[in-house]
Amino acid sequence: MDYVERINLENKRKLQGLLKELPKFCGDFFRYLDTRNTASRTRLSYGYDIRIFFEFIQENNPMYAKMSMHDIPISVLDEMTPVDIEEYLAYLSYYEKKDGQAVTNGEKGKSRKLSAIRTMYNYYFKKEFITTNAPSMIETPKKHKENIIRLDKDEVAELISAVENGSSLTARQLASHQKTKYRDIAIMTLLLGTGIRVSECVGLDLNDVSFKNYGLRVVRKGGNESMVYFGEEVSNALLDYLEMERPLLAEKALPEHENALFLSLKYSRLTTRAVEKLVKKYTGAAKINKKITPHKLRSTYGTNLYKETGDIYLVADALGHKSVETTRQHYAAIDDDRRRLAGKFSGSIFQEDS
């Protein structure tokens, strides 16, 4: 069983446990999502978001407060008005989980949770289990356009240098750095040189890498496979890791982790969280004053590719975006820069030749 299959099974197991909490009628909705080949991670996210919706109902409606969530009838959906949905969105600004942990949601978080209950309502409304559809009457919270945070060429060089030299690391960090330097260089170079997602990076197996074709087989969002190509820098970094460090880690690799490309010092497949910590550690060591995550390294690759080629469709394909509009929204600022450059260039028409 490969990494993606194990993750899907784990997500399905978690969702099955979640369905024991959610109202009984939710089972029909999640079976429907399964028939639509919705990604297991998406179904699980819907489950968590929908649970918050019913927690809100229980906290604000005495009729359901003492009732088990599992026993809440489907008629509750018809009882909700557009004003109730607006109150729910306000509730999301600040609420407490059952363990007392405070949670806040910005526009992005609210939009995602509204999308989850909209999808659920649409299903039951079309199936005529309910006669009203309150979430459909609510506008999606407006998202503020965020500037793309990315590294410039000097910062990329400083980051790779920090990984190579271990400069500014603590004594404890240096101890592990001596055992994982080539692995960490390979990871940073791979993320910067291909733009793959951190989940795609940690999901790589040895047989996913072809040095003959300079390509990687990655499993994209939704489970689709894709070939991603890399250059000499990535190839050299991967080969150094495979020759210098991985054999030592592979000697003690845990069962079902032997084929993972990137192994941890615990001899298991590296996790997304571990890679996030690596990026934070090395950007701090390089004294880069930006909040850099693995996704920002992906943005760095996408930005450079777009600046080099000007081909938004190529960038969308390379990043694995299902819709080119997603790519266009992310890199609209670069288009603005290009348009400004065109405006300055047009001024040369009015200049006389000397």
List pLDDT tens digits, range 270-281: 999 999 999 999
Confidence at residue 272, expressed as pLDDT on a 0 to 100 scale: 94
Residue 101's pLDDT band (boundaries 50, 70, 90)?
confident
How far apart, in whole angstroms, are the C-alpha atoms of residue 131 and residue 122?
A: 11
Confidence at residue 39, expressed as pLDDT on a 0 to 100 scale: 87
Q: DSSP character for 205? A: B
**Residue 348: Cβ-neighbour burial (10 angstroms; 0-12, 13-18, 19+):** exposed
Tell me how far the alpha carbon of residue 143 is from its chain's centroid.
18
Residue 266's pLDDT band (boundaries 50, 70, 90)?
very high
Does pLDDT of 4 surpass 60? Answer: yes
Mean per-residue pLDDT, 150-178: 92
Residue 27: both structure tokens together: 């089972």
Contact 204, 156 (CB under 8 A): no
**Spatial CA neighbour of 312 closest among 326, 297, 299, 300:** 326
The strand pair at 209-210 and 215-219 is best described as antiparallel
In tens, the pLDDT along 46-91 reads 999 999 999 999 999 999 999 999 999 999 999 999 999 999 999 9
Mean per-residue pLDDT, 32-53: 93
Does pLDDT of 35 surpass 50? Answer: yes
Please give the share of the chain, as a percent, with pLDDT higher than 90.
Answer: 69
Please give the share of the chain, as a percent, with pLDDT higher than 70.
Answer: 90
Residue 231: both structure tokens together: 């250059």
Mean per-residue pLDDT, 299-304: 89
Quote the pTM value.
0.75
Contact 316, 301 (CB under 8 A): no
Mean per-residue pLDDT, 308-332: 81
**Spatial CA neighbour of 41 closest among 254, 190, 222, 308:** 222
The 3 state secondary structure assigned to 250-307 is: HCCCCCCCCCECCECCCCCECCHHHHHHHHHHHHHHCCCCCCCCHHHHHHHHHHHHHH
Confidence at residue 149, expressed as pLDDT on a 0 to 100 scale: 83
Does pLDDT of 313 surpass 50? Answer: yes
How far apart, in whole angstroms, are the C-alpha atoms of residue 292 and residue 278?
A: 11
How far apart, in whole angstroms, are the C-alpha atoms of residue 294 and residue 187?
A: 10
How far apart, in whole angstroms, are the C-alpha atoms of residue 61 and residue 132?
A: 19
Residue 324's pLDDT band (boundaries 50, 70, 90)?
confident
Mean per-residue pLDDT, 202-220: 93
Confidence at residue 340, expressed as pLDDT on a 0 to 100 scale: 55
Confidence at residue 167, expressed as pLDDT on a 0 to 100 scale: 85
Ordered domains of the chain (ranges, CATH): 3-137 (1.10.150.130), 153-337 (1.10.443.10)
Does pLDDT of 93 surpass 90? Answer: no
Confidence at residue 315, expressed as pLDDT on a 0 to 100 scale: 85
**Terminal C-alpha separation, the chain:** 72
Instruction: Quickly count: other Cβ atoms within 10 Å of residue 301's Cβ.
Output: 20
Task: Identify the residue with better confidence: 23 or 37.
Answer: 23
In tens, the pLDDT along 124-158 reads 999 999 999 999 999 887 766 666 788 999 999 99
Contact 285, 167 (CB under 8 A): yes
The strand pair at 102-103 and 225-229 is best described as unpaired
**Spatial CA neighbour of 204 closest among 265, 255, 259, 272:** 259
C-beta contacts of 302-311 below 8 A and 24+ residues apart: 302/195, 302/327, 302/330, 302/331, 303/148, 303/150, 303/331, 303/334, 305/195, 306/331, 306/334, 307/334, 310/338
Does pLDDT of 346 surpass 50? Answer: no
Residue 333's pLDDT band (boundaries 50, 70, 90)?
low
How far apart, in whole angstroms, are the C-alpha atoms of residue 127 and residue 137?
A: 19
User: What rounded mean pLDDT belongs to the chain?
Assistant: 89
Does pLDDT of 192 surpass 80? Answer: yes
Confidence at residue 82, expressed as pLDDT on a 0 to 100 scale: 96
Tell me how far the alpha carbon of residue 259 is from its chain's centroid.
23
